[in-house]
Each structure stands twice: as structure tokens, then as C-alpha cells.
Amino acid sequence: MQNESEYLGRWRGEIPILAIGLALLAICIGLLASRGIYPEAGGILAGTQLFLVSVMIFGALDIVRELYRHRPVSPLRHLKQRYSSPQLRERAMAGIPMLAVCIVLLPFFSKMKSAIPLFHKYTWDGTFIAWDRAIFFGHDAWEVLQPVLGYPIVTALIAVLYHLWLLLLYPGCLFLILVSMDETVRRQFFLSYVLSWTLIGGALATVFASVGPCFVGPMLGDHRFDDQMAYLNAANEQFPIMVLPVQQMLLDWHLANADGLGRGITAMPSMHVAIAFLFWLTMRKISRGAGRFFFAFFVITWVGSVHTAYHYAVDGLVSVVAVAAIWWASRRIIAWWDAQELRRAQAALRTNTVPAE
């Protein structure tokens, strides 16, 4: 970016994301208010802190990279020149709108997630269990995976990788805000990101309210997954299975009617799978190597969601189909907006052109 007009141009290109995001946010606030739930600053402050931590992590990594690459005589002078450069300031300015979207989005999703039982009882688990068994010839999905993954050390590793998904939401989004990349792909990602959290994680999760294998026992009295939970607890005696304390914490919050960032219980669709799939769709546009890495992470996330008892296999399947549709629609919305911008620019050029005499 060379001047102010360039980052303002990026902001104008992001107007559809902001407009759609604000409209969906207004609907979310209205729905929550109808149940006596109102916005709070706590989640937004927590999200801001997590992004600040991400900035510090990226900053530290960039400092190491710069000093290793250039080996300057005066490290402090070199770093001062880099971080006070107009180009870096322009890039930071350009990212402000999408950073604000990311900070505000997740707390409201968490509010909606916690409020699902107020709009729809958890009644779909039996259906999704039946769908899984239809796909896997009468078996639950976790039973099919168990001969390959049913070793405590493997389960412990999968549990860690599954929770590393959280890095996509903060360092991952910050990377896509700041990195030099195709602006159309960047906008397609963030519009898809907003629509995924609201339509998949909000609307579909409410309509198809379900709790998932790890919670059907304590919450719904359905004990079909007791064997899976018994395996996870037995594995935990040999290696720490990271998902177990998290699942207990989510259950405790639910029973205490507590809401907040990261709280609430829902299985269908899987937002872990949805966001991992969205990152793969995006990162493959940046580099082939990144595409391969994020495809592997997406597969591990989907398999891990089943193996760790958070989700049914169909939760991930629905997420993939929904994200693919959103990705397709987002591309067309961005293309439509760009066409409108081009027409406006051409009209302004014709208006401002004075015929030669």
C-alpha cells in the first residue's frame, strides 16, 4: 500500500462483509433480547485480549525472523525502521474493520450457543445417531475408528490437536487480516467466516439442537455412548486426554446456566469441522504447501471430533456441505459488489471528464 486511498479502497471492498455482519448481529441481539439476554462487554474484552496476545506472538516471531535474516549491526535501529515504516502502518490500518468483526463475532455466537435450549429443546441426537449407523452399516462412527485410533497415546495426541483448532480463531484470523494475499480471497474468507458462525453455528445449531455423544448420557439420559466415554476415561489413566476436563467444564457451565466466550453446548453442525474446512479452502489459494497442511488438519479435526466424543460423523458432513455452499455464495456476493463499484467508478469518471474544445 502506498497511500491512504489504498487502505480506504480495501475498506470499501469489505462493506458487504460489514453490512451483512451488522444485519446478522442485529438479528442475534433481537433474538437474545426476546429471551431476556442482553449484550455484555466481557466477551468482547476477552476476545480483544486474545487478539493482543496473538499480535505479541506474531511480533516476537517476526523479530526473530528479521534478525536472523538480516543480521543487522544495530538490531534496535533495524527493528525501529521496520516497525515505524509507513507500509506497516498502512497494513495495520487496512486490517482494522475485519479485526473488529472477529472480536465482536465470537462473543455473540457464544451467547446464542448458550441460549439454544431457550429456543429449541435438544431433540435431534437420536436422529443423528440413526444417520451415523445407517452410514456405517449399523455401527456408531467411533466404533469404526476404534481399531485404528483406540490407543491411549494416539487418543491423547488427537485430543491435543483437536483443541489446537482454537489457534485458527485468533492467530489464524489475524494472519489472514495482515498477510499480503489476493483481496478477493481475503474478503471471501471473512464473509464466509461471518456467515458460518451465524448461519451454521447459530441458525442450524438451534434448529437441529443436539448435544453430542459425550453429553447424551448426563444431559439426556441416553447411555449408548457409555462405552466410548469409558474408553476415554481409561485412556486418561495412562495419558492425559485433554478433552475430558473441557467436556466436564462445559457440562458444569451448562448446568449452572452460565454463558460467555467459549461456553454453550451444541453438536450439529460441527463448528470445529466448519472452520477447519474454511481455512483449507482459503489457505490452498495462498500456497500449495499451506493447502496440504490445512487439508490434513481438517481431516484430523473431523476424525478427532468423532473419536473424542464431541460429535457424530454427520455433524461434520453437514458442516462441510454448508461451508461449501457459503463459500460459493460469498464469492458471488463479492463479485457483485466489485461490479457495482466498477460501474460507480466508471460513471464518476464520465461525469468528471470535460470534453476537449
High-pLDDT (> 90) share of the chain, %: 68
The 10s digit of each residue's pLDDT in 227-270 is 999 999 999 999 999 999 999 999 998 887 766 555 678 899 99
Bond into 152 cis (ω within 30):
no
Q: Using CB atoms within 10 A of its CB, is residue 228 exposed (0-12), middle (13-18) or buried (19+)?
A: buried
pLDDT at 287 exceeding the cut of 60: yes
Position 140 confidence tier, pLDDT thresholds 50, 70, 90: very high
Q: Supply the pLDDT for residue 184.
A: 96
Residue 335 confidence (pLDDT) = 96
**Does residue 109 have a pLDDT over 90?**
no
Cell of 118: 431457550
Q: What is the mean pLDDT of the chain?
A: 91
Report domain extents, the chain: 4-352
Rg of the chain over CA atoms, in angstroms? Answer: 23
Put residue 52 in one of left, alpha, beta given phi > 0 → left and psi -120 to 50 → alpha: alpha
Q: How far is CA 298 from the centre of its chain?
A: 12
List, for residues 299-329, the tens digit of each pLDDT value: 999 999 999 999 999 999 999 999 999 999 9
Query: What is the predicted pLDDT for the residue at 44?
Result: 86
Tens digit of each residue's pLDDT (9 = 90 or more) over 44-77:
898 899 999 998 998 898 899 889 898 888 989 9
Q: Before 171, cis peptide (omega within 30)?
A: no
Compute the C-alpha angle 281/59/183, nearest 5°: 35
Cα gap 208→123, rounded to integer Å? 8
End-to-end C-alpha distance for the chain, whole angstroms: 37
Q: 83 in helix, strand or coil?
A: helix
Long-range contact pairs involving 293-296 (C-beta distance under 8 Å, separation at least 24): none
**Per-residue pLDDT for 32 more than 50?**
yes
Whole-angstrom distance, CA of residue 153 vs CA of residue 240 = 9
pLDDT at 1: 44
Cα–Cα separations (whole angstroms), residue 283 to 41, 96, 226, 332:
32, 21, 38, 19
Does the reported pTM lie above 0.85? yes
Tell me what pLDDT residue 162 has: 96
Banded pLDDT at 5 (limits 50, 70, 90) = low
